[in-house]
Structure 1
Amino acid sequence: MRATTSFNKMLALPALTVTNVTVGNGTVILDIRHTRPLLRCPCGWSTRVVHSRSTRRWRHLDCFGMKTVLQGEIRRLSCRSCGRVVIEDIPWARPRARHTIEFEQLVAWWTQRSDRTTVATALRVDWETVTTIISRVVAEQLTDARFDGLTRLGVDEISYAKGHRFLTIVVDQTSGATLWVGEGKNAATLGRFYELLGPERCKKIEAVSMDMAYAYPAATRKATNATICWDPFHVVMVRHEALCVRGRVRDPPCWSVVADR
């Protein structure tokens, strides 16, 4: 079996065929060619007329431990629908991307399970490339549909940069899915989430659990029908502190005896 035939079977990418295979310096370069005659604009309009051509490379999933690169011609068209000269829709890569969709999905999967530096080292790409890919994948797949049917929310913050910076995290208490992450931990930060949610969805929120700081309850007023629920950890902590204060005020001798023991 010829190498091109083997790679065509292994790749199984839409609308392309492998015409040549070059191996060298730890890299597999696959020359590819479009198989569909029509040029399709991202807006949906199609034509057979090519405005201009150029060559582009896309990083693909590694093959036998070697970097795999697709190299092929991209065509531009003058779209009569949107009035622009644009690059045709590429089925195997996202717009303006230099990596295939499969490679970007792999980066996104690993980033959910490890830090970006580790992912960049393992996949042999730059740290900035990982960041760019994450932004592109999230922008495509994170839609407002995740806000439909929400009734119970959980809000909390986490710190990073040695405790000097904070992120506010909102989760769906029913499914456990993370809905939104925003920089900061004040009322304005959480307010951005409720603005994104919209007034109609806010009315359907029945309960929001959070800690006992002032900022989050103030922002949650936008969810007019929501009951604010203090999380058990902070309730127990406040109760414990109150009992300690009461004990010190009412029965100081008892505390001194316990301390002596």
Structure 2
Amino acid sequence: MRDVSLWRSLLGVEKAVIERIVFDEDEELLVAHVRPVSRERGRCGVCRRRSPGYDTGPGRRRWRTLDLGTIRAVLEADSPRVRCPAHSVVVAAVPWARHDAGHTRAFDDQVAWLATQASKTTVTTLMRVAWRTVGSIIGRVWADVDAAADRFDGLRRIGIDEISYKKGHKYLMVVVDHDRRRLVWAAPGRNSATVGEFFDILGEDRCALVTHVSADGADFIDTIVAARCPNAVRVADPFHIVTWATDALDEVRREAWNDAREQARAEPRRGRGRPRADAPPRPAGDRARQLKGARYALWKNPEDLTDNQQAKLAWIARTDPRLYRAYLLKEGLRMVFALPHDAAADALQRWLSWARRCRIPAFVKLAERVTKHRDRILAAIEHGLSNALIESTNTKIRLIARMAFGFHSPDSLIALAMLSLGGHRPTLPGRN
């Protein structure tokens, strides 16, 4: 292999002429003087269209490339400007780096791959760059990936949800593709305008092709989906519906606990130490203590209960019929989602009738809410759709947000999430 070919492979540059290699012993820096091959010169840095020269620009500049062992390496070349018919006067493109970047493509790709695989400290220490620089690199790499592939092509069944990514009520709206099981879009915000941005990007023709939309029952999502995707079946997420029932059950449990505490205050107090054998019982105080520890026995599915929790549930059935009735209502609604569609429709109607006359305000209110979303609940059962994929995606985004802590804006976080979860993970340079 010729020396020039060897250096081109080591430095990861293509379509370039290597003029000379200089090693700066003071800075322990290897400097490769390069220039683009003739067919790559005089191109617009934005669109890469051939354009007439404008001036010599700021002169020679450097691009950081991958280290050679423990030695830092840079490429140095002229940076003339051209006059592009579409983008006016811009710096000419170079084949080894993206436009307006201070690093080579190989360097950017390796940093982006590391950011999706490793911690912040690992990336910054290994690549010897600042964390804010990593955010800029991720944005550039994702922009290239997004321009090369149409991530909205073939979008038919989608899920929409929001996730908190930062203190101070900072939210991202997230959209996933149920069929390809990947993240397709995210943006800061938590309102109908934010969801509208997604449908604006999707376009009217593609909106008409969307067949199913799953969401958590938020009214602003339903409103914008009904307006922009008239042909889509709107699906209520079963997990959120059961969560509503669990919240109603917990409200009843807190009421029972507070009533027991009030009764316990009216009972005569015992002195300190072990109670006497002839001391009067304190049933209300004992009941308050038992109810305080009953939360998980009421929340968990019956098949997952421990022996102690089963005993606790049996005690509730004996001592508090109202709370136990609330528990049965929660379980009844959960079991609706385990039935086939035809049986589920009948079971849901019977559950609604029971909840309306149960004389428990929390569940009477829940029945009104479930009635409002009845068609979407049955659609979820019929089509087998839920927000499980988007909840899994949100969990991964939370982990990415912890890794991305320190980015100046949510744009870098979104780019990192899209690279990690959008089906277009970067690969290491030189690997197939």
Q: Distance in 1 between matches of 2:12 and 2:136?
A: 26
The alpha-carbon distance between structure 1 residues 182 and 137, as it changes in their structure 2 partners (threshold 3 A), is same
Q: Comparing both structures, which one devotes a greater share of its residues to helix?
A: 2
In structure 2, the residue matched to 1:34 is 35
Measured against aligned partners, the alpha-carbon deviations of 1:29-88 in whole angstroms (never above 9, x if no partner) come to 2322225235322252266x7842611110111211332211222333456x56954432
Cα drift, residue 93 of structure 1: 0.5
Q: Residue 200 in 1 paired to residue 205 in 2?
A: yes
Q: Residue 7 in 1 paired to residue 7 in 2?
A: yes
1:1-261 superposed matches below 5 A:
6-18=6-18, 19-24=20-25, 27-34=28-35, 36-38=37-39, 39-42=41-44, 43-45=48-50, 51-52=55-56, 54-77=59-82, 84-114=88-118, 116=120, 118-143=122-147, 145-162=150-167, 164-221=169-226, 222-240=228-246, 254=317, 256-257=319-320
Moved more, 236-245 or 116-125: 236-245
SS class of match (1:31): strand
**Contact 2:120 2:131 (8 Å CA) reproduced:** yes
The alpha-carbon distance between structure 1 residues 136 and 155, as it changes in their structure 2 partners (threshold 3 A), is same
**Contact 1:152 1:207 (8 Å CA) reproduced:** yes
Cα drift, residue 167 of structure 1: 0.8
User: Structure 2: which amino acid aligns with 1:41?
Assistant: R
Measured against aligned partners, the alpha-carbon deviations of 1:148-181 in whole angstroms (never above 9, x if no partner) come to 1110001122112236311111011111121111
The alpha-carbon distance between structure 1 residues 242 and 93, as it changes in their structure 2 partners (threshold 3 A), is same
Cα drift, residue 202 of structure 1: 0.6
**Contact 1:59 1:98 (8 Å CA) reproduced:** yes
Cα drift, residue 255 of structure 1: 6.7
The alpha-carbon distance between structure 1 residues 114 and 225, as it changes in their structure 2 partners (threshold 3 A), is farther
Moved more, 32-41 or 161-170: 32-41
In the TM superposition, structure 1's runs of 4+ consecutive aligned residues that sit over 6 Å from their partners are: 243-249
Q: Distance in 2 between matches of 1:117 and 1:186?
A: 35
Q: Which runs of 5 or more structure 1 residues have no equivalent in the other structure?
A: none
Percent of residue pairs identical: 33
Measured against aligned partners, the alpha-carbon deviations of 1:189-244 in whole angstroms (never above 9, x if no partner) come to 11111111111111111111111222221221211111111222112223445677
Moved more, 52-61 or 165-174: 52-61
SS class of match (2:30): strand
Q: Which runs of 5 or more structure 2 residues have no equivalent in the other structure?
A: 257-315, 324-432
User: Structure 2: which amino acid aligns with 1:31?
Assistant: A
**Contact 2:54 2:89 (8 Å CA) reproduced:** no
Moved more, 94-103 or 106-115: 106-115
User: Structure 1: which amino acid aligns with 2:17?
Assistant: T
Greater radius of gyration (CA): 2
**Contact 1:3 1:21 (8 Å CA) reproduced:** no
RMSD: 3.3
Q: Distance in 1 between matches of 2:189 and 2:50?
A: 43
Moved more, 3-12 or 226-235: 3-12
The alpha-carbon distance between structure 1 residues 153 and 82, as it changes in their structure 2 partners (threshold 3 A), is closer
The alpha-carbon distance between structure 1 residues 83 and 2, as it changes in their structure 2 partners (threshold 3 A), is closer
SS class of match (2:37): coil
The alpha-carbon distance between structure 1 residues 188 and 86, as it changes in their structure 2 partners (threshold 3 A), is closer
User: Structure 2: which amino acid aligns with 1:94?
Assistant: R
**Contact 1:16 1:32 (8 Å CA) reproduced:** no
Q: Distance in 2 between matches of 1:17 and 1:224?
A: 57
The alpha-carbon distance between structure 1 residues 107 and 189, as it changes in their structure 2 partners (threshold 3 A), is same
The alpha-carbon distance between structure 1 residues 73 and 243, as it changes in their structure 2 partners (threshold 3 A), is closer
Q: Distance in 1 between matches of 2:238 and 2:251?
A: 20
Cα drift, residue 25 of structure 1: 5.6
SS class of match (1:92): coil
TM-score (norm 2): 0.52
